[in-house]
Amino acid sequence: MARVTLADVADAVGVSAKSVSNVVNGTGWVGEETRKRILAAIDELGYRPNLAARQLRGGTSGVLALAIPDLREPYFAEFVSRFVTAAQERALNALIVQTGGERTAEKRAIEGEGLPALDGVVVSPLQLTSQDIRQHRGKTPLILVGEHGQEISEPPAVHIGADNGAAARAATSCLLKNGRKRVGVIGVQEEGSKATSRQRFQGYQSALEEAGIPFETALVGNVTDFNRSEGARATEGLLKRGADFDGLFCFNDTLALGALHVLAANGISVPDAVEIIGFDDIDEGRFATPPLSTVNLGISDAADIILDIVEGHREIDSGHVTVPFSVVRRSTTR
């Protein structure tokens, strides 16, 4: 079967090859309706730009790398999906690298080892250090996402993300403003280096302090990982030791789903007896029973900001861009 060419796309849409080229390469000006028709034809015909030729002509490859710890984690899976979609809308290609949260794999990713020529590298690190970032010598834009990424970000890297402490404070305050007085927390990790747990725990404690409610260690559910089984185990632990709570803030939605399961199994009504709020706004939470209240971290906005930086459409004054978050109220809260 003959390879589909740029001219084939132009003929199918009824435009010039130059217009198709402008859309593929992100150059020139093409009307929005025409651009949509060209992108639809590219998808329908299966046109794939010659990336090597593109790089020789313009110094860019049109390829980005996105390195994440684990695709099985719903939050990362949804972020990858939205990032790839946003990239495709700009005629860019995204390569996905799964690092397993291992420092060696993360270092290979930021240096582009074993990858083709790249226009940008996006990494959600768990083990990289600030020294690793300082030693980065590549000219490819390096963008970090996630809580650990925020803590280690230094030039030449840029960090994109929400204010986790403020978001956790808002989630906890949502329960307190509903009249809950004994709000437990699920997601604390004893290992102090876990940036996500630490930042969200600080936000939880800050909300209690603002409300004049003393912090109680008896209401803390420790976990070893952010998954459904650990959320269930931590909630069972609170119940078995007789912890008296009327609200739960869970550090991500999968923990909250595990907590919901245990409360239902024990005949505890949500939200009548206990209100629950999660974090991340994954799709599965919308279809929980009852639908899960949560915090949306603006991952679609983050994807667009990342691509704007890579394409040179956005200049930043510092090494960090804050993405707005929002509290999403559903049926697990009043």
Mean pLDDT of the chain: 91
pLDDT digits (tens, 9 = 90+) for 217-238: 999 999 999 999 999 999 999 9
Whether residue 103 has pLDDT greater than 90 = yes
Tell me what pLDDT residue 47 has: 79
Higher pLDDT, 62 or 170: 170
More confident residue, 1 or 44: 44
| CATH class for the region spanning 58-162+298-324 | alpha beta
- 52 pLDDT exceeds 50? no
Q: Is the pTM of this model over 0.75?
A: yes
pLDDT at position 57: 43
pLDDT at 32: 84
**Ranges of each domain in the chain:** 6-48, 58-162+298-324, 164-296
Q: What is the C-alpha to C-alpha distance for residues 246 and 179, in angstroms, rounded to an integer?
A: 9
pLDDT-based confidence at residue 209 (cuts at 50, 70, 90):
very high
Give the C-alpha separation, 308 to 310, whole Å: 6
**How high is the pLDDT of residue 25?**
65
Provide the pLDDT confidence category of residue 58 given band limits of 50, 70 and 90. Answer: very low
As a whole number of angstroms, the distance between CA 267 and CA 236 comes to 13
Residue 293 DSSP class: B
Q: What distance in Å separates the CA atoms of residue 25 and residue 106, rounded to the nearest whole number?
A: 29
Per-residue pLDDT, averaged over 44-64, amounts to 64
- Give the confidence band of 310 by pLDDT, cuts at 50, 70, 90: confident
Q: 3-class SS at 4?
A: coil
Report the pLDDT value the prediction gives residue 5, as an integer from 0 to 100.
77
Rounded to an integer, the average pLDDT of 239-254 is: 98
**In the prediction, which pLDDT does 155 show?**
87
Rounded distance between C-alpha atoms, residue 23 and residue 4, angstroms: 16
The CATH number corresponding to 164-296 among 1.10.3720.10, 3.40.640.10, 1.10.3470.10, 3.40.50.2300 equals 3.40.50.2300
Residue with the two structure tokens 């279809």: 287
CA 234 to chain centroid, in Å, comes to 24
With 0-12 / 13-18 / 19 or more C-beta atoms within 10 angstroms meaning exposed / middle / buried, residue 245 is buried
Query: Looking at the domain covering 6-48, what would its CATH class be?
Result: mainly alpha
Domains 6-48 and 164-296 share a fold: no
